[in-house]
Chain A
């Protein structure tokens, strides 16, 4: 064999390996589905075809063991296809084992060039036995799945570097887009009400792909062009080349931004050309981005198989559901989350979901449910793994951590439930009563956490017992181009105006507000040093970017205030900046390790003029601002943060009424605060009312409602303080004596209900404070609100 022939041979083997690996990706999923719908002829044929192709090709290369395994498996499948035998769970396990063996052989061929040490004789023997006996297995045959699963997991990681992306030619991509659209619609119309309800809060449009859906069409892998034209329209491209293209496009985007910034000095032709360049660049950028994106379903479609194997081994019943399988992520990120995700799913199956008998005892469905959900939010991809199992018991976690010497008893006593649950991420931690072959060796979750943090993400545990566990992974799109709003802070050192620019991700943006002259005083109020912004009937905490970033305050006598209204992590803030520029497509670049500790930045980018600028992490800025409000900048803030990581904080309005010296209500519920001369109070049907903004506002003297016997007269002072609440339709004014403060903190201790009109007491700002039950106050005043919305707000916020 001369050099050329040998090269040709190697090239052929490479092609064979790539093709086989590609086919095997969907095979697991199809076989698992087949177990649920054994009558599905289409699936049987598809599985049969894949095995058949591998057998045919490898025989040609002389891989005997590979072709032997594939051959006998094919024979069994052929019997199934002909209707001679039924696909029983043991038979499926056997077929899956054979598939694993084939994968191991393929990996061996790829790494060493030969079939290596992989031993197939025993498995082929069993396969042959099954082939000859149509009623196999006659009796209980031990299922050798655990070993198979282990080797398989290892094999997968080895195979990762060889991955290659499929690039669809532009034309084919467009042609493909149309059917994909209809598919999306079709699936969303499916009656999946329960899932849809759960996903209603997700901002991004979600796709529902039920794992047990009978048709392969609903599987996450939705790229399945017809066999004939896929050869013509797709081409394999090295991922490295795509990486390089991506970098070049990033550079091109910067160069384009630079050119556009300076159009004033250009001639008419150059302007026209640069506009065209602009369009082309945008399109090119989009195209290259797309080539690198893969739906998360690529990782997820391995999960049904894993869950099935685990459920069988543990004697559990687990159903897996997926929402948002088409959420696209960059290829590199997909690679990086593969293993952590698998580990979490394993943990949920092994430790989370209980045995059927226990579940029935708890009044739960015997079949456990595992939900995978992915969605985009604010330049971040959220992946949630939720189970409806036993949940994590904080007390148990603490006890275990003390036993393992990870924390001391004092630490445990001070630790909140949330922190206790987070102990699961501590190195060397394992709560499984019994160490199983699947998980519980204590090497898991801490590695998961480090791996995800390595790519700039984070993991947290959302819900605890008794409703199961939800683990949320948030991964930033570090390698992405996102739209962002450029804002700036200006300073004038030595008379020269200097501008510091920052980028706010468009995804966090709600509205831009510019206040001039008298409007400033009208809409921005200062309450005991906490600035508050009246925004669409709500009060938002006002955050000065200058202050957050530790710069000197701007002069107070500004006649224009620029406010960027932002949302992040479920809360809204009004951010004051000096100047608001335009929006731009920016290339997100990672910041070095030295700046990792700064939570207010998401990354960096390079602006049109070639200078770097920082991208603000809105959630981080909000956190920083709320800390500074209490303790001031610097070390103290840091310490405050350490103490507060435990419980989420909330903004509370503190006020005084009669003998109740300290009352609180969550600030987001407050519509407005007004100072009104008592002389304006009128009477209607025996009730105190106020002519307010073209409407009649019922006034509730709070002290009298809370304590009807008291002699306190709320209308005695000349000026009264009125807190206006609204349910969106009607308003009510609660008359109090004095607004005391606004605080942002976690409620520390809670005592049950003490008096009508109060929800209970808590220690706020170091003093005992009563929490107002707004709903009770409203009904006590003889009014009824149209919705119970506010009620739920109070309960949730206080709980």
Chain B
């Protein structure tokens, strides 16, 4: 039997450095692998570049930089998660995309106090999952912070 929507929510999950993060699946438009990017000189730090998403210019935001994490080493294998925001689309660059998971609302937990402030302010809430914690990314905040 499928769970009732009031009992659980679906999250698209991904990894950035050693963090396990999630976004409500309805916000995600699509995943784009290995896309060539145009660098934007003088752009805000978190903006990695521009990608062409079927004729639409989409800003790609480096999630690592947004969270104040160091850049990844080695080959660039990052994936773009295109996210709808208002009437436009913004892309988040993440290290690795994982599954879409169902999370019961009962697994809710507050944001850990010991998290660096830089990261804590971008996290909406936390859920207990099988192998630890899933942090729900506040995408609106991420996009807002990337403006400056």
Q: Which residues of A contact B (CB under 8 A)?
A: 247, 250-251, 254, 500, 549-551, 589-598, 600-601, 604-606, 610-614
Contacts and interface: CB of A to CB of B under 8 A. Distances in A.
B11 to A, nearest CB: 24
B57 A593 contact: no
A247 B55 CA distance: 9
B55 A254 contact: yes
Given A597-B147, A612-B51, A592 B88 contact: yes
A550 B41 CA distance: 7
Contact of B59 (A500, A592, A606): A592
Interface string B75-111: 0000000000000101000000000000000000000
A606 B42 contact: no
Given A611-B36, A612-B52, A594 B42 contact: no
B52 A606 contact: yes
A479 to B, nearest CB: 13
Nearest to B54: A251
A592 B49 CA distance: 11
Contact of B55 (A250, A591, A595): A250
Contact of A551 (B41, B47, B58): B41
A600 B51 CA distance: 19
B143 interface: yes
B101 to A, nearest CB: 29
Contact of A594 (B39, B52, B59): B59
B43 A598 contact: yes
B38 A594 contact: no
Given A592-B58, A594-B143, A597-B148, A604 B47 contact: no
A611 B43 contact: no
A525 to B, nearest CB: 27
Interface string B21-45: 0000000000000001011111110
A490 B115 CA distance: 42
A606 to B, nearest CB: 5
A591 B38 contact: no
B40 A595 contact: yes
Nearest to A614: B40
Contacts of A600: 42
A606 B44 CA distance: 21
A595 B47 contact: yes
Contacts of B114: none
18 contacts: A247-B55, A549-B41, A549-B42, A550-B41, A589-B56, A592-B88, A592-B90, A594-B59, A594-B90, A595-B40, A595-B59, A597-B148, A598-B42, A600-B42, A601-B40, A604-B50, A604-B57, A605-B57
A605 B52 CA distance: 9
Given A550-B42, A594-B90, A612 B61 contact: no
A606 B52 CA distance: 7
B146 interface: yes
A597 B44 CA distance: 9
A507 B36 CA distance: 30
A590 B42 CA distance: 17
Bin chain B's interface residue count: 20 to 34
Interface string B106-133: 0000000000000000000000000000
B145 to A, nearest CB: 9
Contacts of A590: 57
Contacts of B90: 592, 594
Contacts of A247: 55
B36 A251 contact: no
Nearest to B61: A594
A343 B91 CA distance: 38
A250 B55 CA distance: 8
Contacts of A550: 41-42
B84 to A, nearest CB: 12
Given A593-B88, A604-B50, A612 B57 contact: yes
Contact of A611 (B38, B42, B59, B88): B38
B63 to A, nearest CB: 14
B137 to A, nearest CB: 16
Contacts of A598: 40, 42-43
Contacts of B59: 591-592, 594-595
Contacts of A500: 38-39, 41
B32 to A, nearest CB: 13
A598 B143 CA distance: 16
Contacts of B51: 612
Given A247-B55, A254-B55, A594-B61, A613 B143 contact: no
A598 B55 CA distance: 22
Nearest to B50: A612
Given A613-B38, A614-B38, A596 B55 contact: no
Nearest to A253: B55
Contacts of A589: 56-57
A461 to B, nearest CB: 28
B8 to A, nearest CB: 32
Contacts of A594: 43-44, 46-47, 59, 61, 90, 143, 146-147
Max chain B Cβ within 10 angstroms of own Cβ: one of A551, A591, A612: A612
A203 B39 CA distance: 34
A240 to B, nearest CB: 14
A251 B55 contact: yes
Nearest to A601: B40
Contacts of A254: 55
A623 to B, nearest CB: 13
B147 A596 contact: yes
Contacts of B41: 500, 549-551
A354 B47 CA distance: 51
Contacts of B42: 549-550, 598, 600
Given A251-B55, A500-B39, A595-B47, 19 more contacts: A500-B38, A550-B41, A589-B57, A591-B50, A592-B57, A593-B147, A594-B146, A595-B40, A595-B44, A595-B59, A601-B40, A604-B50, A606-B52, A606-B57, A610-B52, A611-B36, A611-B38, A612-B38, A614-B50
Nearest to A600: B42
B40 A593 contact: no
Contacts of A613: 38
Nearest to B38: A612
Nearest to B55: A251
A594 B148 CA distance: 7
A611 B43 CA distance: 18
Contacts of A549: 41-42
Nearest to B57: A604
Nearest to A603: B57
B52 A595 contact: no
Nearest to A549: B41
A500 B46 CA distance: 20
Q: Which 10 A-B pairs have the closest CB atoms?
A: A549-B41, A612-B50, A592-B59, A604-B57, A612-B38, A594-B146, A589-B57, A612-B57, A251-B55, A594-B147
